[in-house]
Amino acid sequence: MTEDLAYLPATEALRLFRARELSPVELLTAVIARAEKTEPQVNSHAEQTFEEALAQAKEAENAYLPGGSPGALTGLPVATKEEQPIAGRRTCEGSLAYADHIADITHPAVERILAAGGIVHARTTTPEFCCASFTHSKLWGVTRNPWNLEYSPGGSSGGSGAALASGTATLATGSDIGGSIRLPASATGTVGYKPPYGRVPALPPMNLDHYCHDGPMARTVADCALLQNVIVGPHPGDVVSLRPAVYIPSELGDVSGMRIAVAVNLGDWVIDPEITANTLAVAEALRAAGAVVEEVEVGLKRAEVWRAALIHFGGIFGPAVAQIAAEQGDLLTPYAHAFARETAIEPGDFLDGLELEGRIYAPIGALLERYDALICPTTATPALTAGEDYIDTRLVINGVELDHYMEYALTPVFNIASRCPVLSVPSGRASNGVPTGVQVVGSSYDDATVFHVGAAIERVRPWSFRPESL
């Protein structure tokens, strides 16, 4: 029963809290027990504050007594990505170079979670500086995929995805600059949302980078919508945060008559046959839900997408890592050094990158004029190997050696198309036991549609979010 509670959906937990059939202390106790069992193997928590959290859960019980006024998340255990600072707490970003750094500000998303009564009982692991699509570091070690410990949960929000799949958090936060919410969601059988740029406030200077998105992660579509509705909206510290706030509706899943495009490949990605099969199964589920679903060709080139992304990173993200590497190089991981080298750009590259981004978005924009949403794989292969840097070792898919391991991701396309909302939901399982996912892509700033489509997939093709062997 305790382990069942650890996987209780957030929306169901809130219903039981209100009915006084479950207490926040009982739920948090189950989550902590699960962490004590699984964390030695999975290693998804960078920080645990269980005693403090239990005291907060006891206080939360009072909010559900007659006359109480619980917030939207009161009593729910929420794991936040360690990259998102909390004032007075360490924020290391997975790096020995920042091991003693104490934050003096709280991230707006975390601020809102706390204000809504969420209990931040754990903060989750990332790769160093969030500059990789796997999760391991010199500081925290290797974070593993709960579905198969030989594999990574993805990155950079890998700790959040692994915590949800392990039952050691009810909700979690992530951030996404090239797929860092969607890649872990896909690999861990969870739901992750990359909101359109500006929908969720962030901190400067990265809030000004249109590739950057903070967003919710959860085990169900409704839970993901619940958290998104808490963190959304304008913030006085973020000039690009959009007003007014746009909320996801509570009733989700009606796709009757919707026109949905399915692309099993966005162009010339090398796609594992299991990914293709699971993507087509999602298309059939949407047809069963009443949508008009058509297969389409998009025609993008993965090398051009990755080139555009590297140029963009070279203007903002790369130099920040390179500066630390120059000052404290011995402390950094090989993959952080590699990222600094790969993102070095020359004069004129930035304009070339913008022109590339325009060409990349053109077919997507045209497609989303004809269809309500686009479905495509989140990744080209189920998961990366745990602990592997992919510097000396090349990633091979279907016998093809990729030029760069990140060419396994179909996610950077929609950081380029940053105003498009994207929800990653599970599409099935691969033969290695690792989940697979699809991206549900909407027209610019059309948040509700992607949640309707995601909920329809969940209803017709429900997924298991609890690993059998852990």
Q: Is 81 one of the catalytic residues?
A: yes
Q: 59-70, pLDDT tens digit by residue?
A: 999 999 999 999
Flag whether pLDDT at 382 surpasses 80. Answer: yes
> Does residue 229 lie within any of the structural domains?
yes
Q: Is 138 one of the catalytic residues?
A: no
Q: 32-88, pLDDT tens digit by residue?
A: 999 999 999 999 999 999 999 999 999 999 999 999 999 999 999 999 999 999 999
As a whole number, mean pLDDT of residues 303-329 equals 95
Flag whether pLDDT at 149 surpasses 80. Answer: yes
> Does residue 465 lie within any of the structural domains?
no
More confident residue, 428 or 468: 428
> Does residue 178 lie within any of the structural domains?
yes
Flag whether pLDDT at 122 surpasses 80. Answer: yes
Flag whether pLDDT at 415 surpasses 70. Answer: yes
> Does residue 181 lie within any of the structural domains?
yes
The domain tally of the chain equals: 1
pLDDT of residue 253: 97
Question: Band of the pLDDT at 1, cuts 50, 70, 90?
Answer: low
> Does residue 120 lie within any of the structural domains?
yes
Question: Band of the pLDDT at 159, cuts 50, 70, 90?
Answer: very high
3-state SS, the chain, equals: CHHHHHCCCHHHHHHHHHHCCCCHHHHHHHHHHHHHHHHHHHCCEEEECHHHHHHHHHHHHHHCCCCCCCCCCCCCEEEEECCCCCCCCECCCCCHHHCCCECCCCCHHHHHHHHCCCEEEEEECCCHHHCCCCCEECCCEECCECCECCECCCCCCHHHHHHHHHCCCCEEEEEECCCCCHHHHHHHCCEEEECCCCCCCCCCCHHHCCCCEEEEEECCHHHHHHHHHHHCCCECCECCCCCCCCCCCCCCCCCCCCEEEECCCCECCCCCHHHHHHHHHHHHHHHHCCCEEEECCCCECHHHHHHHHHHHHHHCHHHHHHHHHHHHHHHCCHHHHHHHHHCCCCCCHHHHHHHHHHHHHHHHHHHHHHCCEEEEECECCCCCECCCCCCCCCCEECCEECCCHHHHECCCHHHHCCCCCEEEEEEEECCCCCEEEEEEEECCCCHHHHHHHHHHHHHHCCCCCCCCCC
> Does residue 469 lie within any of the structural domains?
no
Per annotation, catalytic residue among 44, 137, 152, 156: 156
> Does residue 53 lie within any of the structural domains?
yes
> Does residue 467 lie within any of the structural domains?
no
Q: 329-379, pLDDT tens digit by residue?
A: 899 999 999 999 999 999 899 999 999 999 999 999 999 999 999 999 999
Q: 277-304, pLDDT tens digit by residue?
A: 999 999 999 999 999 999 999 999 999 9
The enclosing domain of 320 has a CATH number of 3.90.1300.10
pLDDT of residue 469: 80
- Domain enclosing residue 206, as ranges: 2-460
